[in-house]
Structure 1
C-alpha cells in the first residue's frame, strides 16, 4: 500500500511537471508580446531558464547525499508553483525574468527528484516502471498544451492558476528515505564510464525531443501552407504517440528486453524523421512526427533506470546497504539529469542553426544522429544489472 501510494504521488509529480511546462510554452508568444521581447531577448531568457534548471539539478545532487528526495521534490514543487504565479502576474519585465529564473531552478530540482523517487520505487518493485512515470509527464504535457490553447484568448494572468497545482501535489505521500545517516555514499567511487554511455543516448533523445517541440510547428508553418490552427499538431502528435508507448512501456520492456526495444525504437525514430524530412504535405509530416514519438518514447526513462542500476551496485555485483545505495543513486540521478539539458540545448539550437535556410535539413541531422542509440543500447544492461534489478530488468 505504501509503495502504491508513493507511486501515485510520484506520477502526479511527473504529470505536474509536464503540465506546467507545456502550459507556459504554449503562451510564450503572449509573454513575448506583453513584455515587448525580441526573438533574441526571448531566446536569452529561455537559455537562462535552461541553464538555471541545470543549477537546480546540481543543487539537488548536492543535497541528495544527506537529504530525503521526498523533501527535495516538495521543495521544488513549491518553488515552481510560486515562480509560475510570479512570472504570470509580474508587473514589470524584471519581475517576469526573475519568475522565469525561479522556475528554472525549481524545474531542475523537480526533474531530478521525481526521477530519484521513480528509480527508488522501481528498485522496490523489481521490474520496469519508469516508462509509465514518463508517460505521466507526457500526459501532463498534453493537458498543459490543451490548457494553453483553451486560454489563448484570455489574459496571461489566468495562467497563474496552474501554479496552484504543484502546491497541492507537494503534499503527496512520496517515498521517504527511511534509513539512517548516508554520508558514506560520498566516499564510494561511481563507475561513470558506463553511466556516460547511457547519458550520450539520453542526449540524443533530448536533442530530438526538444527539436520537435521547438521547431516542429515552425517546420509545418514555413515548409507548407499549413493553416495556422494546425501547426501545433506536430508537437501534439509527437506527444500523444510518445505517451501511448510510454504507458505501455513497462510491459513491453519486461517482455522484449531493453536492448531490442532501444534498437528497434532508434530505427523507427529515424524512419519517422525521414518521413518528416521528405514529406510532400503537412499531413504526412504530422504522421512522421507521431512515428518519431512512438520510436524514441522510452529512451529517457530507460536511461534513468540504467543509470540507477549502475550506480546502485558495487564492483563484483555486491550490493551496498540500503542507506548508502539510496543516497548514492539519488546523487547520481541528479547529476545524470544534466544530460537532459545538454540534449535540450543541442535540440533547440542545432536544429534551428542547421535548418536556418531549410528546416528539412535541420531535421535531417537528428535523423542520422538518433541511430547512434543502436550501438549504445548494450550499455543499458551491464552485468551488474542482474544483481540490482533482478532478471526482469535484463535484456530478455
Structure 2
C-alpha cells in the first residue's frame, strides 16, 4: 500500500471523528430547538449505538461480498445524507429517524475504516494503527473545538453539520478511490474452503475493545460531573476530560514505535496495568487531583489498547480480516453503553468508585495478554 493510500486512510479516521464530535456536541442545541427532553436524548443515544452495531454488520457483509472500500463508500454516503437531514430537520419526527440512520452509517464507517487500517498496516509491514487512531483523536478535538466556538452563534450548528456532510461527500469524490479494494474472503468455492472465523480470538480481542470503550465512554460522559460534585469551579471541571484526551493522543502517537520495540502483547499488558492504576486512583483518592491524574492515566491506556487490539484482529485470519475486524468492532458499542449508562448510574451514589467498572472490565482483557491470540499467515 503506497503513502497516498495510507494518507487516505488517515484522513478517513480524522473525518469520521470530526463528524461524530460535531454530531454529539450539537445535541444540546437540538434539544432546545426541538424541545427534546433529556430522557428522549438518552433513548436516542441508546438507539444510535444499536444502529451503529447494525452498521458494523452491514460493513461486514459489504466487505465480504464486494470490498471494504465499498463499505466505506456506502457508510460515508449514509452519514453525509443523514447529517444534512439532521441539520435541516424542521421537526422532531424528521430529526429522530435521521439520527438513527446516521448511526447505521457511523457503525459502517467505524468498521470499514478499521478494515482499511489493517490493510494499510499489512501492506506497510509495520504497525500503523496508532497513527490512524491519533488522526481520529485529532479529528474529535477539532470537532469539539469548532462546536464550542460556534454554539454561541445563531445557525452555527446547522452550518457545522452541513460542512461536515460536504467534507464527507468531497472525500468520496477525491480520496475514496485511493483506498485498498481488498476483500475479506475470496469468492465461490474458494470462500467455502477458507478457514472459519475463530470465535476465541474475536471474543478475547472484543473484550479488550469493550473494556477500552467502557473507560472512554465513562470518562467522556461523567468525568466533568464527578469533578463538579467535588466542588471545583465550572472552568476547572472539564480539565479531567481534557487531560484524558491529551493522554489518548500522546499514547497513540507513540503506539506504533512502542509496538515495534515491545511487541503487541507486552504493550497490551502495560496498557492494561496503566488503565487499572488509573481507575484505582480515581476511585480511592476521592479528590480533584487524584481524579484528574487517574483520568490522564486512563487516557494513556485507552490510547494504546484500541489500536493494538484492532491491529491484532487484522492478523488473526488475514484471509478474512475484514470479518474479524467487523465482529470485534461491535464490542465498541457495548462498551460505550456500559460506560455511559453503567458508570452514570453509580456516579451519584458512590462517586469516583464508579470508575472501577472500567477497571474491572480491564481485568477481562488480561487473556489477550497472557494467552496468545491465534495469528495465521495469509495464504492469499
Same fold (TM > 0.5):
yes
Q: What's the CA shift for 1:140?
A: 0.8
Output the CA distance in 1 between the equivalents of 2:273 and 2:33: 43
- In structure 2, runs of 5+ residues without a counterpart are none
- The answer to whether the aligner puts 1:308 opposite 2:314 as a matched pair is yes
* Cα separation, partners in 2 of 1:191 and 1:213, compared to 1, 3 Å: same
Q: What's the CA shift for 1:375?
A: 3.7
SS in 2 for 1:355: helix
184-193 or 84-93: which moved more?
Answer: 184-193
Q: What's the CA shift for 1:106?
A: 0.6
SS in 2 for 1:139: helix
* Cα separation, partners in 2 of 1:332 and 1:370, compared to 1, 3 Å: closer
- The answer to whether the aligner puts 1:33 opposite 2:40 as a matched pair is no
Query: What do residues 227-279 of structure 1 show as CA deviations (whole Å, max 9, x unaligned)?
Result: 33443333222122111111211100000111221111112112222332344
SS in 2 for 1:108: helix
1:104-123 superposed matches below 5 A:
104-123=103-122
- In structure 1, runs of 5+ residues without a counterpart are 313-324, 390-396
* Cα separation, partners in 2 of 1:378 and 1:186, compared to 1, 3 Å: farther
* Cα separation, partners in 2 of 1:15 and 1:100, compared to 1, 3 Å: same
Q: What's the CA shift for 1:280?
A: 5.3
SS in 1 for 2:90: coil
Output the CA distance in 1 between the equivalents of 2:141 and 2:312: 27
Partner in structure 1 of residue 297 of structure 2: 291
Partner in structure 2 of residue 204 of structure 1: 211
Do the aligned partners of 1:85 and 1:163 also contact (CA within 8 Å) in 2? yes
Output the CA distance in 2 between the equivalents of 1:351 and 1:28: 21
Q: What's the CA shift for 1:350?
A: 0.9
Q: What's the CA shift for 1:301?
A: 1.5
Partner in structure 2 of residue 57 of structure 1: 56
Output the CA distance in 2 between the equivalents of 1:357 and 1:19: 34
- Could you tell me the TM-score, scaled by structure 1's length? 0.87
1:87-126 superposed matches below 5 A:
87-126=86-125
Q: Alignment RMSD, CA only?
A: 2.2
* Cα separation, partners in 2 of 1:36 and 1:126, compared to 1, 3 Å: same
Q: What's the CA shift for 1:91?
A: 0.5
Q: What's the CA shift for 1:388?
A: 5.3
Output the CA distance in 1 between the equivalents of 2:80 and 2:35: 25
Partner in structure 2 of residue 159 of structure 1: 160
* Cα separation, partners in 2 of 1:179 and 1:150, compared to 1, 3 Å: closer
* Cα separation, partners in 2 of 1:36 and 1:358, compared to 1, 3 Å: farther
* Cα separation, partners in 2 of 1:157 and 1:294, compared to 1, 3 Å: same
- The answer to whether the aligner puts 1:236 opposite 2:228 as a matched pair is no
Do the aligned partners of 1:352 and 1:359 also contact (CA within 8 Å) in 2? no
295-304 or 226-235: which moved more?
Answer: 226-235
Do the aligned partners of 1:276 and 1:284 also contact (CA within 8 Å) in 2? yes
Do the aligned partners of 1:3 and 1:175 also contact (CA within 8 Å) in 2? no
Output the CA distance in 1 between the equivalents of 2:36 and 2:279: 32
Output the CA distance in 2 between the equivalents of 1:46 and 1:175: 32
Partner in structure 2 of residue 134 of structure 1: 133
Q: What's the CA shift for 1:43?
A: 0.6
- The answer to whether the aligner puts 1:353 opposite 2:345 as a matched pair is yes
* Cα separation, partners in 2 of 1:373 and 1:181, compared to 1, 3 Å: closer
- The answer to whether the aligner puts 1:382 opposite 2:367 as a matched pair is no
Q: What's the CA shift for 1:224?
A: 2.0
* Cα separation, partners in 2 of 1:384 and 1:185, compared to 1, 3 Å: same
Q: What's the CA shift for 1:296?
A: 2.6
Partner in structure 1 of residue 258 of structure 2: 252
Output the CA distance in 1 between the equivalents of 2:203 and 2:333: 14
Q: How many residues align?
A: 371
Output the CA distance in 2 between the equivalents of 1:268 and 1:177: 36
Output the CA distance in 1 between the equivalents of 2:238 and 2:75: 29
Output the CA distance in 2 between the equivalents of 1:113 and 1:294: 25
- The answer to whether the aligner puts 1:332 opposite 2:324 as a matched pair is yes
- Could you tell me the TM-score, scaled by structure 2's length? 0.91
SS in 1 for 2:365: helix
Query: What do residues 271-330 of structure 1 show as CA deviations (whole Å, max 9, x unaligned)?
Result: 222332344543542232112101231211121121221122xxxxxxxxxxxx2xx221
Output the CA distance in 2 between the equivalents of 1:346 and 1:186: 37
Partner in structure 1 of residue 181 of structure 2: 176
